[in-house]
């Protein structure tokens, strides 16, 4: 099974598993930036939820990845959330699903990075902005050009202590 084999090799090489959250049914207006974020996250590890950035996945798609019913989507996503080492959420488009994943992620003590593009007449939820917790929950207001530095900084948290000098993301092992 060449597909799974190669996926496993990637996971073994990169170590870290990242759960990426973005709006699906609340609106797909940011799907292109989700795609660029998922691509950047590939530098640090395996993204467990690449379907979130799939431009073919619309508000009305009958399935997400291989999950067909809402319960299958829910069960799969909660299982991936348990499995991940880090959660990265693009929170500019208000979405119940992203909020839910963040709430569950906080309860699981996951390390979480939220990314927000400030916009006139809009305001980020206090449930995100106020959840700030050193080393566990961070929200960054960003412009796209800031993302490489934001990610390098966030993923430093996952380097083993004896590897803090290393920025060779592809060869490190998560703590």
Residue whose entry in the numeric block shows the structure tokens 């597909």: 3
Shortest spacing between CB 30 and its own copies, in angstroms: 13
Sole binder of its own copies in the list 123, 134, 143, 145 (CB under 8 A):
123
Q: CA 146 to CA 162: how far, in whole Å? A: 27
CA 144 to chain centre: 16
Shortest spacing between CB 7 and its own copies, in angstroms: 24
Sole binder of Ca ion in the list 65, 94, 147, 150 (CB under 5 A):
94
Residue whose entry in the numeric block shows the structure tokens 């797909």: 28
> Using CB distances below 5 to 8 A depending on partner kind, what does residue 24 bind out of Ca ion, its own copies, none?
its own copies
Nearest to 151 by CA among 126, 125, 169: 169
Nearest to 86 by CA among 52, 106, 116, 113: 113
Which span sits near its own copies by CB under 8 A: 8-16, 106-114, 142-150, 161-169? 106-114
Segment 53 to 92, residues that bind its own copies, using CB under 8 A: 59-60, 64, 69-75, 77, 91
Written as six digits, the tokens of 175 are 């703590």
Compare residues 13 and 96 and give the one whose CB is closer to Ca ion. 96
Instruction: Flag whether 123 is marked binding.
Output: no
Written as six digits, the tokens of 60 are 């009305």
3-state SS of 106-126 is: HHCCCEEEEEECCCCCCCCCH
Instruction: Flag whether 61 is marked binding.
Output: no
Instruction: Flag whether 83 is marked binding.
Output: no
Interface contacts to its own copies, rule CB under 8 A: 23-27, 59-60, 64, 69-75, 77, 91, 94-108, 121-132
């Amino acid at each position: 099974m060449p597909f799974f084999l190669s996926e496993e090799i990637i996971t073994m090489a990169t170590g870290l598993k990242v759960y990426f959250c973005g709006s699906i049914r609340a609106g797909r207006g940011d799907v292109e930036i989700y795609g660029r974020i998922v691509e950047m996250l590939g530098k640090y590890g395996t993204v467990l939820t690449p379907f979130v950035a799939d431009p073919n996945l619309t508000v009305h798609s009958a399935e997400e990845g291989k999950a067909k019913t809402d319960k299958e989507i829910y069960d799969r996503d909660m299982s991936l959330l348990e499995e991940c080492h880090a959660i990265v959420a693009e929170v500019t488009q208000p979405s119940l699903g992203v909020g839910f994943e963040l709430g569950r992620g906080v309860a699981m003590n996951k390390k979480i990075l939220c990314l927000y593009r400030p916009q006139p007449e809009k305001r980020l939820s206090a449930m995100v902005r106020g959840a700030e917790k050193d080393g566990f929950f961070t929200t960054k207001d960003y412009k796209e050009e800031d993302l490489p530095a934001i990610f390098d900084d966030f993923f430093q948290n996952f380097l083993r202590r004896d590897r803090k000098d290393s920025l060779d993301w592809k060869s490190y092992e998560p703590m």
